[in-house]
Amino acid sequence: MNDLPLSGLFLLLGFLILLSAFFSGSETALLTINRYRLRYLAEQGHGGARIARRLLERPDRLIGLILLGNNFVNIMASSLATVIALRLGGEAAIGIAAGLLTLVILIFAEVTPKTYATLHPERLAFPAAYIYTLLLKVVYPLVWFVNLFTNGLLRLLGIAPEGDQAGNALSREELRTVVSEAGAMIPERSRSMLLAILDLERETVEDIMIPRNEVEGIDIQDSEDEILQAIRNANYTRLPLFDGGIDNVIGIVHARNALHVLLDRGLGKEHLRAIARAPYFVPEATPLYQQLLNFQRGRQRVGLVVDEYGDFQGLITLTDLLEEIVGEFTTDPSDNLPEIHRSEDGTLLVDGGISVRDLNRALRWELPTDGPRTLNGLILDYLETIPEPGTSLKLGGHPIEVIQSADSGVKTVKIIPRQARRTRR
């Protein structure tokens, strides 16, 4: 180096600083690149992505290679800076050169390239992958020797050098966060559906079933006129068939088939039994996602919900389950719920037996669903007593007035939606 002019030494120093910036930036780019996008690009045939993915399968080798190169370059730059300092100012200039070199490396070889790599990892990671693959072949014995000691030290500390590949998988809550923060990359409607699908694992059949006191069905002990009236008034096309009461379900009848039988032979007991399908029973604790699969496998659309003792608790339909994912099939959910009645002044009269989930969906509220399942239960849990008519309270910031109550609980409440409150003002 003594034979090189100062200009040549400065050029060589600049080149070493560029190499240091390359090692620092490429390390950040490769270690922070989105692994799922990397897998997608690799499967699509992207050469740089395939090579980068192969390198990241052994992060110990990659990090060893990068640190070897980076440390070698930085040490060379420090030695070169010392030579330049001695030529320019003697031993007194060595301290100044060390300080200036530290500042230059910090700015130009650490902070700037790493910040750029964090913002645009693919631009740096893919080209660097080709260079590192070539370098790894050249200095592999040295990398292997370094990794031999470092991996042995990690094992002594109880850490597996190869890492836990399963730990890279996203949990359900992490996936929810990814979907929620996707922003414009996923349309809001699609984002809501994806989040609803993730929630199917947390909710059970009991959360969305039609309770037994609201189940519409046909009792073969009724008269033909009563049976016909029940079919006409039904909100569903598939109805449970009872024999003497709701606790004795003997099948499921399609309303269309029942009308055909009526026209051909009349709605006699034996005729109804003949067209009824065997009842399909569902445990109330079944997760919704599992029940969706069960409906698909069994080609069923209606399930009779039973508790652990086999007692009939309610009804679940495929339509209700799909609405948990895509939302109500009507424009205004509140117009489709018999428990909600809209007055001319915009206020809502709501049955106390409405489920909290239906109320949240209809009014776009966020009342808690991990406690009482009905509005009546939520009010009683909040007040810890059965309120008198005229009692006002706030649930989740929403004013509610009790209109009718009985010894067993709240029967009817009045709710003033925000739009109606604005109009009144």
Q: 355-402 pLDDT, tens per residue?
A: 888 888 778 788 887 778 888 889 998 888 899 998 999 888 888 999
- pLDDT at residue 27, as a whole number: 92
In the predicted structure, residue 322 carries a pLDDT above the cut 80: yes
Q: What is the DSSP string of 281-305?
A: EEETT-BHHHHHHHHHHHT-SEEEE
Distance CA 109, CA 129 (A): 19
- Is residue 82's pLDDT more than 70? yes
Mean pLDDT of the chain: 83
Dist CA 36 CA 310 (whole Å): 46
Are the beta carbons of 389 and 410 closer than 8 angstroms?
no
Amino acid at 13: L
Average pLDDT over residues 3-29: 89
pLDDT digits (tens, 9 = 90+) for 293-318: 999 998 888 999 998 888 889 899 88
Which pLDDT belongs to residue 108? 92
Query: Average pLDDT in the 75-81 region?
Result: 91
The yes-or-no verdict on residue 252 having pLDDT over 80 is yes
Give the per-residue pLDDT at 331. Answer: 47
CA distance 272 to 257: 9
DSSP state string for 316-352: EEHHHHHHHHH--SSSSGGGG-TTEEE-TTS-EEEET
Q: Are 81 and 98 in contact (CB under 8 A)?
A: yes
**Per-residue confidence (pLDDT) for residue 45, from 0 to 100:** 86
